[in-house]
Structures are given as structure tokens and as C-alpha cells.
Amino acid sequence: MFVTHLECSACGGQHECSRLQNLCLTCGKPLFAMVDLAAASQTLKRETLATRKKSLWRYCEVLPLPSDVEPVSLGEGGTPLVRAEKFGYDIDLWIKDESVNPTQSFKARGMSVAVSMAKHLGATKLAVPSAGNAGGALAAYAARAGLEAHIFMPRDTPQANIIECRELGAHVTLIDGLITDCGAEIAWRKAKEGWFDMSTLKEPYRVEGKKTLGYELAEQFNWQLPEVILYPTGGGTGLVGMWKAFGEMEALGWIGGKRPRMFAVQAAGCAPIVRAFEAGEKNAAEFPDAHTIASGLRVPKAIGDFLILNILRQSSGGAIAVDDEEMIRVAREVGSSEGLFVAPEAAACFAALKSLRSAGKIGSGERVVIFNTGSGIKYLDCYQDQ
């Protein structure tokens, strides 16, 4: 393990990495694991990665788990990067298909690393608010680790997600409200119940698992990053994690200083980042009356809002909202043209691509990556009446 300490992403305060930590004790913002990249580079070599296991753990030197501790793993990472045959029109479009991860979504990456670390540091009961896939991932990895999982979900969460969590042995509580209400329930009960809070960016290690998206993308493109990344953004852990990965890889000498233009894609019924980006704000106010069929995008207030907005501006990217009807329509178009049954969140990115292309914000011939964050199979409630 080459992590030296935890550092606040806002105030820069340092914290111990040898015990369980949630947010910065000074300002209450997310903590990042800081890696001694010079030390890690002694054994982590770009040219020898191909000889390692096809898993996110191939990048173990830049991940927080000590080398002598067995990770809690179900085979996550190493997902395919598929070139679009028809949908891309006159651009070089690629799809990073995260639906082939354990529990059929990208949430497996973050939970594998976070649960590994939580178990290593002594946690026995884990809790998370979830509108769907994060709950399923925590349930799976907690079961694998022999830990208790307590999952709080909005009552209207897709049935596939609720059933998945229960069948994996988790304690599931349904709440009348949104994911923010679920988070509030955990916040006031966790001390009494002995839970460790695994909420998005409220512990330091889910983002470490998600950053492997950036490492994999660079490796699969032979260390040349694409011009544009479209990312479905609820809590934004993957967006934040990839940006962290790009910085680490540059420090390792694996890539140059050029970055993709990062676009956050949200639902029209829940678009706090879009609204804040367009208004020039540094933080995003809670979005009122949040609603969308894309449950992963129904996050009215993200604790990492300032990080997301900084990334969008630093990269000369942007934020765009898509309505639910367009998501469903485009999902079918992607399925019939590319053979992928994508989650509504990913469908929103394909719809956003059309808008950005029409607006001239993505140029002809540019290399663009869309993340299919989960399988459409888990969203049958959304598609069955269409």
C-alpha cells in the first residue's frame, strides 16, 4: 500500500488513513486517499500491466488496500470498450460497457475497494442510501466479506434492485422520499446502530475504485485519452475518480497534460449540476421536486458538487439535461443499432451526444466515450409500458 494519508478535497486538511474515516473533521467535505506515486512506480509499470489479471486490482499499487490483505472481489473491472458501429455518425464513438461488472453496474468498482477497506479497518456493519445499483453492490460485497449491510432505498426504487439487495442478505428499509431522505435516516441512526456510512463521497474509498475507470480507459486507448467523455452524473463519484486518475497517471509519466472535455449528463427532472453550471455557481443547490425514471440520476443534492463543477470548467466541458421520454426513445435506438440494452442513465448520454453534436460542441472525427453504467435489464419497470 502506498497511500500515505487522507486529504480533504476542500480545505486540504490531513487525516489518518489507518482508521475508519468519513468526511473531513474540519469542514465536512470529502476526503481523498493520497498515493506516494514515486514509490508505487517502482513496481507499477505501464508496459507490464498486460501481464496482470484483468481486474481493477491490476492497479493495486495506486489503490488503498495493503498488499498483504486479500481484497473483497467478485471479478470487477476489466470491462470492454466497444466501438459504436452505427450510432456515432461522423465521430469516433466508443462505449465503456460497465454492465458486465458483478451486480451488472459500475457500482461494483467502488464497493469492492470500499468494502475491502472497511473490513480491513474493522467495520462490521455497513450502511448506504441507494436509489438502486449502489445498494445491490454493497449487498453483494458485504455478503462476500461476511459483513452486515443495511440499505435504505426510496420506496419507488425499481423492484429488481430491491429484490437483489434482499436476496443477497441485506437489511433493506424502504423510505417515503428521495435518496437524500435515506441518507438523512442513516446519518441520525448510524452512531447508535454501529453502522459505518458508505454513502457516495462520504467515505474515501469508493472514489478509489471508480478511478480505475480512468486507468482502464487510458490503457485501452494505448495511453491516449479521448477528446470527450459523456458521463451520467448523480453523485458524480466516477467523474471525480477519473479526474483523480488522470492526475495520477500524468505524475507517473503515463500520459501528458491534455484532458478530455468532461460533460455531466443529468435528467431534466433532477439537474442540480446543470443548473449550477449554467448559472456559474461553485456549488449546486438542492434540486426541488426531483423526479426521473433514471434512478441513478435522481440525486437532488450531491456532496461532491463543487468537485464536479470544477472538473467541468477545468476541462472546458459542460453539463446537459435530458428528459425521460428521450432517454427511453434513445435506449431503443442504441439497442437496435449497437446490440446493447443500456440503462436509462447511459441512454441519457447518447441523447446528450446528439444535442452536443448539433450545437457544435463536439466536432466531426473527435473521439468520444460514453459510459454505459448498468444493464437495462435492471430497469424493466421503465421500459415495459413503452
pLDDT digits (tens, 9 = 90+) for 254-313: 999 999 999 999 999 999 999 999 999 999 999 999 999 999 999 999 999 999 999 999
What does the DSSP 8-state code read for residue 260? P
188, part of any domain: no
What does the DSSP 8-state code read for residue 159? H
276-280's contacts with Cβ under 8 Å and 24+ in sequence apart are: 276/305, 276/309, 277/309, 277/312, 277/313, 277/318, 277/319, 278/319
- Residue 367 neighbours by CB under 8 Å, 6+ apart: 91, 92, 94, 221, 226, 227, 228
358, part of any domain: yes
CA atoms within 13 A on the CB side of 173: 17
Which of 234, 256, 252, 243 is closest to 211 using CA atoms?
A: 243
pLDDT digit string, tens, across residues 182-229 = 999 999 999 999 999 999 999 999 999 999 999 999 999 999 999 999
CA atoms within 13 A on the CB side of 118: 33
SS3 (DSSP) at 62:
helix
219, part of any domain: yes
C-alpha cell of residue 292: 426521473
Looking at residue 386, its pLDDT comes to 53
Percent of the chain whose pLDDT exceeds 70: 99
C-alpha cell of residue 240: 471525480
- d(C-alpha 94, C-alpha 88), whole Å: 8
- Residue 366 belongs to domain with CATH number: 3.40.50.1100
pLDDT digit string, tens, across residues 131-172 = 889 999 999 999 999 999 999 999 999 899 999 999 999 999
Which of 292, 279, 290 is closest to 347 using CA atoms?
A: 292
CA atoms within 13 A on the CB side of 351: 26
199, part of any domain: no
- d(C-alpha 123, C-alpha 117), whole Å: 9
Burial class (CB in 10 A: 0-12, 13-18, 19+), 32: buried
Number of domains the chain is built from:
1
Rounded to two decimals, the pTM is 0.96
- d(C-alpha 224, C-alpha 258), whole Å: 9
Report, in this order, helix, strand and coil percent for the chain, each rounded to 5: 40, 20, 40
62, part of any domain: no
CA dihedral (372, 242, 110, 354) in degrees, to 10, reads -20
18, part of any domain: no
362, part of any domain: yes
Structural domain of 310: 81-105+206-383
87, part of any domain: yes
Taking the alpha carbons of 186, 188, 194, 199 in that order, is the dihedral positive or negative?
A: positive
- d(C-alpha 217, C-alpha 244), whole Å: 13
